[in-house]
């Protein structure tokens, strides 16, 4: 889990975040809504959607997953629950 979180840490100092912050601060200084930053937020959200929608049970080593005291039906239920909680399956939340 630490390795997965470490990959997201490199994004926070990326040049695109600095550019979007510059766009937002320029618009806010003039009393305007930061509409120019919206396409970049959509792009970043789209790029982060794929890692967020991956199967969390796929990250568990098969040897450890075999140690869990679950029946086949419970494993299937766990897979379906992880799919149902995925951001891709939920769609946009208003």
Residues 73 and 47 in one domain: no
> How many structural domains does the chain have?
2
Average pLDDT, the chain: 77
Sorted by sequence, the CB contacts under 8 Å of residue 36 that are 6+ apart come out as: 23, 27
Residues 2 and 32 in one domain: yes
9 — pLDDT class (breaks 50, 70, 90): low
Residues 84 and 42 in one domain: no
Instruction: Give the residue numbers spanning the domain of 14.
Output: 1-52
Residues 40 and 23 in one domain: yes
The alpha-helical segments, DSSP class H, found in the chain are 2-9, 15-29, 38-52, 62-67, 72-84, 87-90
Which of 14-18, 25-29, 78-82 shows the lowest per-residue confidence on average (mean pLDDT)?
14-18
Residues 14 and 38 in one domain: yes
pTM: 0.46
Residue 78 has pLDDT above 80, yes or no: yes
Residues 58 and 44 in one domain: no
Residues 14 and 60 in one domain: no
């Amino acid at each position: 889990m630490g390795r997965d979180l470490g990959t997201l840490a490199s994004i926070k100092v990326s040049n695109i975040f600095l550019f979007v912050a510059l766009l937002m601060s320029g618009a806010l200084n003039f009393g305007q809504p930061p509409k120019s930053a919206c396409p970049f937020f959509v792009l970043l959200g789209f790029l982060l959607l794929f890692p967020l929608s991956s199967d969390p049970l796929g990250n568990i080593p098969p040897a450890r997953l075999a140690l869990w005291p679950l029946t086949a039906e419970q494993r299937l239920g766990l897979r379906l629950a992880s799919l149902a909680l995925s951001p891709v399956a939920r769609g946009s939340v208003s």
